[in-house]
Amino acid sequence: MDRFYAPTGSDSETDSDTEVITLPEGEARHFLRVLRGKVGDQILLFDGQGHEMTAEATSVSKKEVVVRVLERRYESPASPRIVLATAVPKGERLRWLVEKATELGVDAIQPLLTQRSVVDPRPTKMARLENNVIAACKQCGRNHLMTLHEPQPLDAVLDAAAQSGEALIAAVPGGGTAVDVLSEAIASGGAGTIRMLVGPEGGWTEAELSRFEESGCLPIGLGRNILRIETAALGLAAIAGAVRDQ
């Protein structure tokens, strides 16, 4: 069945026999114009907070689609949370990074401002990327939306992580084997969040590397080659997700 996003705000105890949902405008347009949907058609809905619903269209007009929920399921979020704190690549590469990180199960992206950063995305640009997160969730079957945070300087991110007790991992040349480092971080069990730091293509400065040592970051390596930001970030995300979910 086709999947649609409907941010209902309901909890898992809602009575599915009486729950009706009006699809958002864009989702209704897709149902009506692309799929040529009609009354009686069944679809899948997800609300971005872990709920997935089987629903049936009960009312269809030129611009509005109302469905009745037939069955509701809840998927618990994965643990620990994986946050990708990464320098921002140029142009469409950021959009691609957001889409693929969503597919790989990253819980949040934190755009990182470093001493050698060349891109500082505006809040409006980050807001537009929310649609890419939704589209990727629809495609890959994910029921929890990935969070997009506002850009923050590296020092602020490190300080906040220290206060909240997060596990910190930094991608650096000569760092430890990725699987071993991530397994160690996850097995420690003390941190509910693992924050993975990926720098700009110009690399970290000596001052930033010193900050990592002071902050207790685990150094992680990603091979001998110089990687683009999105390649490093997604490679790290893929390994982290696989280790977490095994």
Q: What is the pLDDT of residue 18?
A: 61
Q: Distance between CA atoms of 15 and 12, rounded to whole angstroms?
A: 9
In terms of phi and psi (left: phi > 0; alpha: psi -120 to 50; beta: otherwise), the region of 36 is: left
Q: What is the pLDDT of residue 119?
A: 86
Q: Distance between CA atoms of 60 and 67, rounded to whole angstroms?
A: 9
Give the CATH architecture of domain 81-245. 3-Layer(aba) Sandwich (3.40)
Which tokens sit at 240? 């982290």
Please tell me the pTM assigned to this model: 0.90
Mean pLDDT (the chain, rounded): 91
Q: Which of 218, 190, 211 lies closest to 112 in space, CA to CA?
A: 211
Reported residue count of the chain is: 246
In the CATH hierarchy, which fold is given to the domain comprising 3-74?
Ribosomal Protein L25; Chain P (2.40.240)
Give the residue extent of every domain in the chain.
Answer: 3-74, 81-245
- Angstrom CA distances, 37 to 26, 32, 41, 169, stand at 14, 5, 7, 47
Which tokens sit at 121? 């995305």
As a 3-state breakdown, the chain gives helix, strand, coil percent values, each rounded to 5, of: 35, 30, 35
Distance linking the first and last C-alpha atoms of the chain: 28
Q: Distance between CA atoms of 68 and 231, rounded to whole angstroms?
A: 42
User: Contact, 219 vs 172, CB < 8 A?
Assistant: yes
Residue 111 pairs in a beta bridge with 86
Q: What is the pLDDT of residue 12?
A: 40
Q: What is the pLDDT of residues 80-131, one digit of tens each?
A: 999 999 999 988 999 999 999 999 999 999 999 999 998 888 877 888 899 9
Q: What is the pLDDT of residue 73?
A: 93
Q: What is the pLDDT of residue 8?
A: 76
Q: Distance between CA atoms of 35 and 239, rounded to whole angstroms?
A: 36
**Calculated CA dihedral for residues 10, 16, 21, 27, nearest 10 degrees:** 90
Q: What is the pLDDT of residue 16?
A: 52
State which residues of the chain have pLDDT below 70: 9-18, 189-190
Q: What is the pLDDT of residue 241?
A: 92
Q: What is the pLDDT of residue 212?
A: 95
